[in-house]
Structure 1
Amino acid sequence: MKLLLDQNISRRIIPGLQIDYPGSSQVALLDLESASDSDIRQFALENDFVIVTKDSDFQEMNLTQGSPLKVIWVRLGNVDNQVILSSLVENRSRIQRLFEQDAVDCIDIHAVGDISADGSRAMGA
């Protein structure tokens, strides 16, 4: 699973993600920093990325434009990069298992170690 970090998440954590999420990147590293969310969404779909973001925009697009975009919505508040990195690395197997379920489009990370499935197809699950 490759992660594409939205511009609101630092590219500095990319090296720390490579063992657990090889091929991961950040929008600025792919010259997408000026791209619209729709263009980033399309890039992620075409290149098999899971988007990691701190805002609801990509999840809202899933609700209006349909799936199958996979999103990890980091809802940890104003935390440093190491907390985000730790949350993604420590929960890798749980994130993988949740995304293997067809009904899951979005995973929320509410606190370190606290993740939940959400999404347009997962709400009733």
Structure 2
Amino acid sequence: MIRLIADENISWRLKKILSDWEILPSNEIKLNDRLTDLNIWRFAKNNDYAILTFDEDFCELQNLYSFPPKIIWLRTGNVNTQTIADLLNSLQKGILQFLSADDLGIDI
């Protein structure tokens, strides 16, 4: 099972399109603290999620703190949610390999 937290810039609709993936939109994470990138990072690490993002901010956190969590950094530019879903589906095998690799932390 692929477990991803979708960064705030990725539509929550991705969760409905990729119903066979476990996708948690970051705005659905309930924390006592403010929802910051670092808090999302910690939540992902503590709950065995990878982070799906358009932002390099999570990559910078990984440079500081290593991994897990693993980062899937989408560098597609401004595309619609269906295009993202199609891309992820087409890369599913590679994503699964990346998530199971012990020596990789970021996939672009």
TM-score normalized by the length of structure 1: 0.78
User: Distance between the aligned counterparts of 2:30 and 2:79, measured in 1?
Assistant: 25
Q: Residue 25 of structure 1 aligns with which residue? A: 24
Aligned-pair distance for 1:15? 1.2
User: Distance between the aligned counterparts of 2:61 and 2:24, measured in 1?
Assistant: 21
Q: Residue 3 of structure 2 aligns with which residue? A: 2
CA contact (8 A) 2:17 2:82 kept: no
Aligned-pair distance for 1:92? 0.9
Q: Residue 83 of structure 2 aligns with which residue? A: 83
CA contact (8 A) 2:4 2:23 kept: yes
- 1:67 aligned onto 2:67: yes
User: Distance between the aligned counterparts of 2:65 and 2:73, measured in 1?
Assistant: 17
- Counterpart of 2:13 in 1: which secondary structure? helix
TM-score normalized by the length of structure 2: 0.89
User: Distance between the aligned counterparts of 1:76 and 1:41, measured in 2?
Assistant: 22
- Identity of paired residues, percent? 31
CA contact (8 A) 2:54 2:74 kept: yes
Q: Which amino acid aligns with 1:95?
A: I
- 1:36 aligned onto 2:36: yes
Q: Which amino acid aligns with 2:107?
A: I
CA contact (8 A) 2:66 2:105 kept: no
Q: Which has the higher contact order (CA 8 A, sep 6+)?
A: 2
Q: Residue 118 of structure 1 aligns with which residue? A: none
